[in-house]
Structure 1
């Protein structure tokens, strides 16, 4: 468990910012900031760089792309800010955007500042200090799922939201996009998983289930909980990949992180959220809950499950490639090559068995 304040640590040397330029921009963009800024860095994310900027008691969160970021549409902070601003009125869990900057000279890349939500962010385990029994954990789990269901029900015809969509064919575009990213991210010695890519191409649905707003990285450590009632969601973070698309693709992406208590040792070792805890729904129960609450015919979920794992594998490989090329020295990325290897194996296992959530 962490809070917005306690999760921030001293800034890594490679991620330091020009404080004079940052200070000048923030004070020019946000009224009432006084004094010298204090900068710390959030450690949880593995994609974009996120900082806590304090002016006395006033806290802001700054988001920018990492060094060496590549790929069409990747790490687009100005798009993320625009998505958040468009969704805020319909989905109150989005943090408010305070300022945007398209000048890379300020912090080294386009960036934005948003409000800091004073709440709890869960990490690998549920801390005993939350005081949740099994029923409380179940309530927390369903509340988190309800916020995803609520997002999927947002009116997509609203100005600013409608512009996110590209129409029918989301699944096909995702397959083409992520397989292309996979090929570009490969490093020497990486298993190309050609069989997994071929299987996904052969069985992918020909039509989208439906079109709705999707988060595309919805998991427990992107959710902020009320510090008074830790079963209640007060915020949802990390909107970089949000768009209009197929909700089952969103659900499959979330379940790629959903490690259960009875899973194999290697999957348990990769766990980064407390979905194994007594009271949490299993992956099968998550699908049943979603289907019941939304009226969605889940059908054969194997493609969505494997694609979620494959997409996570691509993201991990993209990060590992930056580490292998020396574009980041963050030690937590050193083991991502092994993570990629395991995710490839898990994709094959799910393909062989027909899915772990049947």
Structure 2
């Protein structure tokens, strides 16, 4: 049989500090209704003082490794790929620190930066290494703490983004097994680099010899164009992959898309001719957790009983870069972990 990468574990982590829409309304000129109508979000979590992205990554990975131990038996992890746009430090990468804290020894570990598409890029990288025989068991993590780079005065980004992490474990297996990653479609367009960005802090700004302009140290997003591009790119990428796999007639059974905005998810569903009930949604509880979005949604869907063994599942995302991508698999039996905290009243 063809060697394949098989998903055998999933985990997630959220900070303990929850921020409801009502709390945001006490700080900004906004309301619970305004936020829910435009985003579908009711709650998000922010990292505790003194903690960082690696802390959430370790927590999510620990749970995913425990699940993999139950479903696939104990085995050493020989690769760690971490998707993040908010590393602990600009240098070095955060993945080696995470691998060290997990006690994984001197395995190869590196970061992938593709913002909200980061997890799918990291997943594709790990799958390629497993299928090529360069790794037998890989840990793939998506983790971000966007609260650390948001403009404190910007109500829009404060309402949308939350901190969180998700992780999956892959093992070498066969292509016809449940959990085998069946295909990917990835893309990027650097012409849209200014639509989702942090302008200051990189070599471009530092090499200019000029101080960063006021506000350029914060994350910025052009909402209208981003909405249009997100719907277009996720729909096109999903359609390309579904056609390649021959999934027609209402397949996939479930779509786990990047949890950016409920209106984006609905628009993508309309473009693909899929029912809204086919979409996994947890953004009402956690907001947009960037690279953590898809794996955290997978983890919550398993906990909520929204993913069942044998279901065909499509993953799709869009993020800064611009970047986008899709992946597909038949969901394996992973059991049911405890759900993340419910949405605050």
TM-score bin, normalised by smaller chain:
under 0.3
Larger % of strand: which?
A: 2
Give the TM-score normalised by the residue count of structure 1. 0.25
Give the TM-score normalised by the residue count of structure 2. 0.25
Larger % of helix: which?
A: 1
Larger relative contact order (C-alpha < 8 A, sep ≥ 6)? Answer: 2
